[in-house]
Amino acid sequence: HRKLYPIFKTLFIEPNPVPVKYALKRAGIIGSEVVREPLSELTKASEQTLLSVLKSLGK
């Protein structure tokens, strides 16, 4: 649990499911990270934060 806590916390830095879809796309699990309105794409700052956490976990 403690090892995965950073990713759990980071997946909620923006409205769900935006960060989750981004992570799934990066992992090759889904084909698109596009979300419908009123949601918007992950911000560049959040994208960098999420990438950093994923890399620290070896993903």
Between CA 50 and CA 6 the distance in angstroms is 9
* Tokens describing residue 41: 């794409």
Q: How many angstroms separate the CA atoms of 56 and 38, rounded? A: 31
pLDDT tens column, 9-45: 999 999 999 999 999 999 999 999 999 999 999 999 9
Decide: pTM greater than 0.85. no
Tokens at 44, concatenated: 């560049």
What's the CA gap between 37 and 7, in Å, rounded?
A: 25
What amino acid is encoded at 47 in this protein? E
Residue 59 reports pLDDT greater than 70? no
Question: How confident is the model at residue 58, as a pLDDT?
Answer: 84
pLDDT given for residue 1 in this prediction: 77
